[in-house]
Amino acid sequence: MTGRASESDTVIETVALSKWYGEVIGVNNFNLRIRPGITGIVGPNGSGKSTLFKLALGLIRPNAGDITVLGEKPWRNAPLHSSIGFCPDYESLPTEATGREYLRLIGGLHGMKGDALSKRTTEVSDIVGMRRALDRKTGGYSRGMKQRMKIAGALIHDPDLLILDEPLSGTDPLVRKELIDLIKSLNKDHGHSVVVSSHVLFEIERMTHDVVLIYKGRAVATGDIYEIRDLIDKH
């Protein structure tokens, strides 16, 4: 796998991790180790994918167990957040802002400014194929363009790790192929480790062979895509 971290490093690791909301279980005794490269998180809606991401981002605190991201605990760890870029599964673009204004806003939140921010805005818009649409309002973007711009926002501060929550959701087949190629390029050509979720195994299979299968809050299978396919077929 290609990445900024060495092959011996661990991007995300959980040990007996549990998070619940009242009587609802988010993740339960979750054990996982993700290495640098691209890793797919696959599971049906409600399986625990989003809870895992919130824990990795330090947005919520575990009830039990431990999680480390890039070797550090994410809860109340602001410096760690500068090493992580997040693309949410919900609509997060301000519709009255242009793409350029959005990227400058996100960059500003990371302490970027001046010429460095202007240069990086152009760079990430080139990476995601959105430079020609930078000065259009995001409310007029297509679904695929919105996804590209959200990924650009996750890239703006040049993080080591990208967490992409259902980035292919709601896109047509052509756009899905383009986004898959983009995600692969983010690792191969730009050195970012990527953790990407989907409820469709076939989509993940086109990006990576490293997969984690989640069901009812547990990591029920991890490893090579072909091994996991065999496991699914047997059950």
pTM, whole model, 2 decimals?
0.92
pLDDT at position 5 is 56
pLDDT per residue as tens, the chain (235 positions): 344 554 448 999 999 999 999 989 999 999 999 999 999 999 988 899 999 999 999 999 999 999 999 999 999 999 999 999 999 998 889 999 999 999 999 999 999 999 999 999 999 999 999 999 999 999 999 999 999 999 999 999 999 999 999 999 989 999 999 999 999 999 999 999 999 999 888 889 999 989 999 999 999 888 887 777 776 666 5
Give the whole-angstrom CA distance, residue 84 versus residue 223. Answer: 23
pLDDT at position 59 is 96
* Environment class of 129 (CB within 10 Å of its CB; exposed 0-12, middle 13-18, buried 19+): middle
pLDDT at position 4 is 55
**Cβ atoms of residues 99 and 149 within 8 Å:** yes
pLDDT at position 76 is 94
- Domain positions in the chain: 1-83+160-235, 92-158
- Three-state SS letters, 195-222: EEEECCHHHHHCCCCEEEEEECCEEEEE
The superfamily (CATH) of domain 1-83+160-235 is: P-loop containing nucleotide triphosphate hydrolases (3.40.50.300)
Phi and psi torsions of 24, nearest 5°: -95, 125
* Environment class of 32 (CB within 10 Å of its CB; exposed 0-12, middle 13-18, buried 19+): buried
**Which tokens is 203 given?**
């989509």
Cα Rg of the chain, angstroms: 17
- Length of the chain as a residue count: 235
Give the whole-angstrom CA distance, residue 99 versus residue 139. Answer: 10
Name the amino acid, one letter, at 71. G
Of residues 141, 103, 130, the one with CA closest to residue 119: 103
Give the torsion through C-alpha atoms of 66, 160, 197, 219, to 10 deg: -30
